[in-house]
Amino acid sequence: MILVTGASGNVGRNIVDELLAAGERVRAIARDPQKCNLPGEVEVVAADLSRPETLQRALRGVERLYLWPAFGELQGAVDAAVRAGVQHVVLLSSEAVTYAAGEPHIACEKAVAESGMSWTFLRPSAFMSNDLLWIPQIAKDGVVHGVYGSASMIPIHERDIAAVAVKSLLSVTSGAIHSITGPQSLSQAERVRMLGEALGIETRFEEVPRERVRAQMLLYLSESVADQVLAVRASMRGVVGEALPTVEIVTGRPPYTYAEWIAHHEAEFRPVLQL
């Protein structure tokens, strides 16, 4: 039995679909099983990572676990997994652990690494799916606001993260750390332009003051981490980043391009044209 946490999210739902296609028995947790909209083959158990006492039933008989990084609340869930006899954990982490001291994923990795369970860490680059947050701005006037629009990123499709996660769940390698990127170095400005071209509308990226973006980041990051992340982004202005071959090595196929990601999310972007 494989337990998938965060099963309704961008990555988790793709993991569920791939595991079912591989013929695996899949269980998921949800605060409200009636609202999670997962395939009927999935056993959905009412539970919450932030409340370890609810996890006993969900973890019963589970051998492998895909773990969503519940910041500040993961230790109890890890302890519950150990007590239940889980053998291997695949943890969704972030590439930010390599350059931002105090980044919250670091504590998640530490909790899993010190648990005594076998583990694999996934450290993806920026999610392409984060760009769905631009939809309201594009719908308004085609202008996306942000900072360091020329800074290079190598964003990754959520399907590729899921594919590496599934391989890590099915072919266990203890202590593996997979740093994952997409296939292309793209700035925010370039991605906004590509979205406009795909949608057939005029779009552009507009710089805003750094402090405005920093204030938004402080809603979910500490000051030190926010400053480190912004410093790294600033250092990548005009730089072409190096795409990693991890997705193809692990899965046997190349990662999806940004253009393919746009096509996969046409249903989300298409209403922009109707406003």
Q: How many domains does the chain have?
A: 1
* Pair type for strands 118-124 and 176-180: parallel
Task: Identify which of 77, 198, 73, 180 has the alpha carbon closest to the alpha carbon of residue 131.
Answer: 198
* 92 in Cβ contact with 11 (< 8 Å): yes
Distance CA 59, CA 81 (A): 7
Predicted local confidence at residue 235, as pLDDT: 85
CATH number of domain containing 239: 3.40.50.720
pLDDT per residue rounded down to tens, the chain (275 residues) = 999 999 999 999 999 999 999 999 999 999 888 888 899 999 999 999 888 999 999 999 999 999 998 887 889 999 999 999 999 999 999 998 988 787 889 999 999 999 999 999 999 999 999 999 999 999 988 999 999 989 999 999 999 999 999 999 998 788 999 999 999 999 999 999 999 999 999 999 999 898 888 998 888 778 888 888 888 888 888 888 889 999 999 999 999 999 999 999 988 987 766 65
Predicted structure pTM score? 0.92
Predicted local confidence at residue 236, as pLDDT: 84
Range of the domain at 225: 2-274
* Pair type for strands 152-153 and 186-187: antiparallel
Tens of pLDDT along 224-260?
A: 888 888 888 888 888 888 899 999 999 999 999 999 9
Q: Give the other-Cβ count within 10 Å of 84's Cβ.
A: 18
Predicted local confidence at residue 229, as pLDDT: 84
